[in-house]
Amino acid sequence: MMDKVMTLDEVAGELRDGMTVGIGGWGSRRKPMALVRAIVRSGVKDLTVVSYGGPDVGILCKTGQARRVVYGFVSLDSIPLEPHFRAARQAGSVEVMELDEGMFQWGLRAAAQRLPFLPTRAGLGSDVLRHHPELRTVQSPYDDGETLVAMPALRLDVALIHMNRADAHGNGQYLGRDPYFDEWFCMAADRAFMSCERVVPTEALLAGGPLQSLSINRMMVQGVVEAPNGAHFTECPPDYGRDEAFQRAYAASAKDDAAWEAFRAKYLDVDEAAYQKAVAK
């Protein structure tokens, strides 16, 4: 079987200006933050970011690399509103498509199944259709004649996810309580890349947890990156929890330009080894 091990910067080098990039995880939980930091260093721009958003969205909005964001929410969980995204939203510096969480999931599933859309009741009776008149409804062809939202496929050029464990061939395992929707991001994308806390032999995956924890299979991903602490500062249980002190410092960097530039210089404009050294102090 093929060895798919790559570096963070090699994955970032696969991105091109104008791409649609899906980022797995959920809010401030198991986000592929080492890959996000690599994107910042790469300078790639004009991205459409598709995410159940957290600091991944906030950072890429603040750096000006996200042109458009498609999201179900953007939150730091213990800090309800992601401050850099909020600032970008209020300033109108980023285009947005705000969806019901169920609509978002259905869009990923439609893309994964190579369908143009999937019908759903999610979004009916809400302002989603008013704010996004490009969304359409369809009528059931059966006797009930029910009107449903036709959620369009959220087709991705690239998906980025982070898992607890993976093997060199692209099989990935989560060890926390929730798989989130990482497998759907992968299947909705033309290419997917997975960072993980540790690359282990395939046999260790089989012994490391129940079979359902192996949510990513090797056909879903084109590259694997071993990135210890690679979800920091978001949580990645059971390996580590959220770094709440660092998250507060990140949120405080939205106070003014000087605070942001100091944060960026120390934590984003450095390579991953320097970042990990800085946060270990």
Are 30 and 67 in a shared domain? yes
210 falls within a domain: yes
Are 263 and 135 in a shared domain? no
112 falls within a domain: no
Residue type, 272: E
Q: How many domains does the chain have?
A: 2
128 falls within a domain: yes
Are 141 and 228 in a shared domain? no
Are 224 and 247 in a shared domain? yes
Are 178 and 140 in a shared domain? no
Are 56 and 95 in a shared domain? yes
Interhelix angle 83-91/55-62, rounded to 10 degrees, is 50
262 falls within a domain: yes
61 falls within a domain: yes
Are 133 and 29 in a shared domain? no
Are 184 and 89 in a shared domain? yes
CA neighbours closer than 13 Å in the CB half-sphere of residue 145: 0
* Tokens representing residue 129 in the block: 């259709």
Say if residues 218 and 170 touch (Cβ distance below 8 Å).
yes
124 falls within a domain: yes
Strands (E), the chain: 20-23, 47-53, 66-74, 95-98, 117-120, 136-139, 147-152, 156-166, 172-173, 189-199, 223-226
Are 143 and 157 in a shared domain? no
- Taking the C-alpha atoms of residue 259 and residue 248, their distance in angstroms, rounded to an integer, is 13
218 falls within a domain: yes
Range of the domain at 133: 117-152
The structure's pTM equals 0.96
List the chain pLDDT tens, one digit each, 281 residues: 789 999 999 999 999 999 999 999 999 999 999 999 999 999 999 999 999 999 999 999 999 999 999 999 999 999 999 999 999 999 999 999 999 999 999 999 999 999 999 999 999 999 999 999 999 999 999 988 899 999 999 999 999 999 999 999 999 999 999 999 999 999 999 999 999 999 999 999 988 888 889 999 999 999 999 999 999 999 999 999 999 999 999 999 999 999 999 999 999 999 999 999 999 97
Give the closest residue to 26 by CA, choosing from 226, 221, 217, 234: 234
